[in-house]
Structure 1
Amino acid sequence: MGLFSPGFPGSMEITWTTFNETEESTVEYGLWGGRLFELTAKGKATLFVDGGSEGRKMYIHRVTLTDLRPASAYVYHCGSEAGWSDVFSFTALNESTSWSPRFAIYGDMGNENPQSLARLQKETQVGMYDVILHVGDFAYDMHEDNGRIGDEFMRQIQSIAAYVPYMTCPGNHEAEYNFSNYRNRFSMPGQTESLWYSWNVGSAHIISLSTEIYFFLDYGVDLIFKQYEWLKKDLEEANKPENRAERPWIITMGHRPMYCSNNDKDDCTQFESYVSTVSKFSYQLMRRLFPGVDLELWAHEHTYERLWPVYGYKVFNGSIEQPYVNPKAPVHIITGSAGCRENHDTFVPNPRDWSAFRSTDYGYTRMQVHNTSHLYLEQVSDDQVSREGSPQFYNYEVDGLLQSLTDM
């Protein structure tokens, strides 16, 4: 069960899986406090055959709810006369550009050693977040055991994804069978099978990219050019003066970072990383034509790292006293330490001067887009919480920063 934003106002898409074919895909829902299930929406199911040796079949149901009342709470269940789910709730996204949405952000979370999962479940259910951004690498791995690991992972995140939109991008661990488990299990905006897309929330325009198209070339080099052309058009639209006035924050998310100071010999540890080299047209496009990309979110490294504003391996701080106020380059955040069977990564002893803060603790990132001029980020250390073992340390922050809107 998962909620996803289809990318257009007043809507929410609900996705779930059954192992038997049903005649209908139905969601019954209603306003919180109103008559239960007074509204009905129908969708359709598509057959997904896992690429493993058993060829397991499952039916992915998708139903889009429309004409939702902004910022209003709804209760719902889904299924058909063959059977119904538990009752869940969600709050329709606020459509105002003056709204201050709250996010939890992380990547690289598996169903084995999901260190941060319990706290994310609780914090979601008590209403701390409006949106989840999962920046690639799920389950470890969704295709394993003929897709059963994917089934188990989706059940684990249901206690998050059934309550707030769970927005994703593909990572390297989703590559098996041409990313088929990822493309079928998640429902992102647009017509690219969730590989890349953009959407608006509050005063932010969020762009999700696939870094994996640069590494899995057997699945088609044409995807590189398709994503580039799509990105060019998307940024042109987002940077029209009337659109930038409404949504001045431009935020990107992609799995493999351009820069990092880990010592595991991953791509981002190289001075000229493959992501920044092969995708240079895309990123030069962002910088050269549309220099207002403010924040870039990454994962892949099982650590947390905050960079100074950087472009081309050079630091462009706003000032010595206020480096994140009106910087001349995007801020990069790597948040891939939610917890998985591969445990932590480590760092090189002496990072380059663009690295501002590093932590090997398990954890996840919180972000709030306060308004058109201020955005707040903090990293929560799950390790610190666990070590202290006391409720007063529940919201332990290992890193926090306040960034003012880039003005270039």
Structure 2
Amino acid sequence: MKFLNVITAAAGLVIQVAAQINIPGSVPENKVEPLQHRLAYAGPTGMTVSWNTFGSIKEPTVFYGEDPWNLDSKATGSSRTFETSPTWAHHVKITGLKPDTTYYYTVSNTNCYGCHELSAYTFKTSRPVGDYTPYSIGVVIDMGVMGPYGESVESDYPTITDEDSNTMQSLSRYVDGFDLLLHPGDLAYADTWLTEWGQGYLNISFDEGVEWYNRLLNQYYDELQPVTSVRPYMVAPGNHESNCDEGGTTINGTTYDLSICPEAQRNFTSYINHFSMPGEESGGVGNFWYSFDHGMVHYVAINTETDLGNGLIGEDDVDGPEDMHSGPFGSYENEQIDWLEKDLASVNRTLTPWIVVYGHRPWYASGKNVSNTICWNCKLAFEPLLLKYEVDIVFYGHIHMYERNAPMRDGVADPNELNNPSAPLYILNGAGGHYHGLSEYQDPINSYSRYLQNSTFGWSKLTFHNCTHLTHEFIASANGSILDTATLYRNHTCSGESTSSGTGTSNVSIVSSTIPSAAVETTNGAAALSAPVFIGGLLAVLAMIF
């Protein structure tokens, strides 16, 4: 009985400790408590570890190692903030790592309740070029804050029931099934505070808008931490990163424009400060355009919001679409396009057969209001190079639905369809989910559309089986079901080097890419206590009691 009482007391203390963990969007008592851990590849042997705190840190530090009980290496970095931000973003780049290796890490001021090692997170470095080992990635676009201040069961279209997962929960549940997560644009939708306020959904005063913009951002990053703390989160800019008000909103006859945003909430300021993408490592520009390799795939992030080059869209080339008054971010007009050609031309396709390009705005889609949603200038800027260098697949969003189109060449579907086409396969997946719900599509849909749905939120899973085959799946966030699947064959000529497991590429069969059944789902709007932190806290409490 005495032992049972001790265990009960220990459990009570652990519950009390758990209750002190930061609730998404709230300010912790300890202002330097590390929050919003996120990872990003930093070259073939590097990883950038980033996190936020509500207080400043003199020297942001990451402790890491291959042994969770011996984090014997450390690296230091720098911090960023901006005028209206309540938090500091810390970025530490770790270099000289082994490829395809799991590391454990903690950051400055980690409170592991008496057991440093058991509170460590993990990351895995990228596979070397020429490694044809199969793997999967996740792709999500247009995903906003979930819970009482964003997407909820009160939304009209589609409806999320109490039994459904939202997209953040679904990604957390299946995080073991993908190596990294791409998110090309529209992160958090913090700038929809104005729309939500105007529609009576967000019960605040107009004067609180500056504060709520930051609250929604922090809530989003807190909620996504179960994914971003253990998987590289590779982002690209969307229109909702540009400023604080969606580029202009009319409510009850009053039109609000960029003038309501303080300077610090304009021109992608929060996006620039929060992330650290490998622009420097790939010769690109910061978080706006960059590339990286992971095994048999070369990934390229493009910026569809500014810097389209060649004077294609006049003043908007500098201003950004929809009067966002953003950019340019390149040092000269054509820098992004010149960089893209150089980057694509540099890929050795016998070692890195696949090329994936991701950006925010689409140019092939069946959405309504085509003049406002289709980026024809993006097509003019990017498509010639995607065709010239035989890019395999393109992801974009912006229109809030899912549509798989045929491989396309200048508006015409490739007659080979998925059997060794000469043009990229285009996947539009703007169905991540947020306050606005999903979009309508034009009827009849475009002749090149092969599968379209706007009835459920979801994300993409892309599996590279070998040198010549990949499979794309659209995953319903609500229950993890696969609503659409397509396997693309490209007749790549590969080096014939063996995979890390010693299996020759010519005999590699298509691996199953079904969603793993074992999963843990976090509760919507509640703090998720990671297993390492929970175990560390429990052991520490038991040690104190005994």
TM (norm. structure 2) is 0.64
1:326–1:407 Cα contact (<8 Å) kept: no
CA distance in 2, matches of 1:107, 1:144: 25
Q: Structure 2 counterpart of 1:381, which letter?
A: A
What aligned pairs does 1:357-368 form with structure 2 within 5 A after superposition? 357-360=451-454, 361-368=456-463
CA distance in 1, matches of 2:301, 2:275: 13
1:56–1:5 Cα change, 3 Å = closer
Report the secondary structure of 1:181's partner residue: helix
Report the secondary structure of 1:182's partner residue: helix
In structure 2, the gaps of 5 or more residues are 1-35, 153-165, 192-209, 244-265, 309-315, 494-546
Q: Structure 1 counterpart of 2:48, which letter?
A: E
Deviation at 1:15, TM superposition (A): 0.5
In structure 1, the gaps of 5 or more residues are 386-394
Deviation at 1:222, TM superposition (A): 7.1
- Looking at CA atoms only, which structure, 1 or 2, has the larger radius of gyration? 2
> Which residue number corresponds to residue 391 of structure 1?
none
What aligned pairs does 1:9-408 form with structure 2 within 5 A after superposition? 9-32=44-67, 34-46=68-80, 48-50=81-83, 55-80=84-109, 87-96=120-129, 97-111=131-145, 112-113=150-151, 115-124=166-175, 127-141=176-190, 145-176=212-243, 177-191=266-280, 192-213=285-306, 216-217=319-320, 218-220=325-327, 223=330, 225-238=334-347, 243-265=348-370, 267-268=372-373, 273=374, 275-277=375-377, 280-287=380-387, 289-290=388-389, 292-318=390-416, 323-360=417-454, 361-383=456-478, 385=479, 395-405=480-490
Q: Structure 1 counterpart of 2:134, which letter?
A: S
2:365–2:446 Cα contact (<8 Å) kept: no
Deviation at 1:381, TM superposition (A): 1.6
Q: Structure 2 counterpart of 1:94, which letter?
A: R
Which one has more relative contact order, counting CA pairs under 8 Å at least 6 apart? 2
Q: Return the structure number with greater strand share.
A: 1
1:309–1:316 Cα contact (<8 Å) kept: yes
CA distance in 1, matches of 2:345, 2:49: 30
1:69–1:353 Cα change, 3 Å = same
Q: What do you get for the CA RMSD once the two structures are aligned?
A: 2.4
Report the secondary structure of 1:145's partner residue: helix
CA distance in 2, matches of 1:130, 1:257: 25
1:82–1:316 Cα change, 3 Å = closer
Deviation at 1:149, TM superposition (A): 1.5
Q: Structure 2 counterpart of 1:140, which letter?
A: Y
> Which residue number corresponds to residue 4 of structure 1?
39
1:6–1:116 Cα change, 3 Å = closer
Residue range with higher mean Cα deviation, 134-143 or 226-235: 134-143
1:245–1:342 Cα change, 3 Å = same
Aligned length: 375
2:462–2:471 Cα contact (<8 Å) kept: yes
Identity, % of aligned positions: 27
Deviation at 1:38, TM superposition (A): 2.1
CA distance in 1, matches of 2:329, 2:101: 42
Report the secondary structure of 1:262's partner residue: coil
1:406–1:277 Cα change, 3 Å = farther
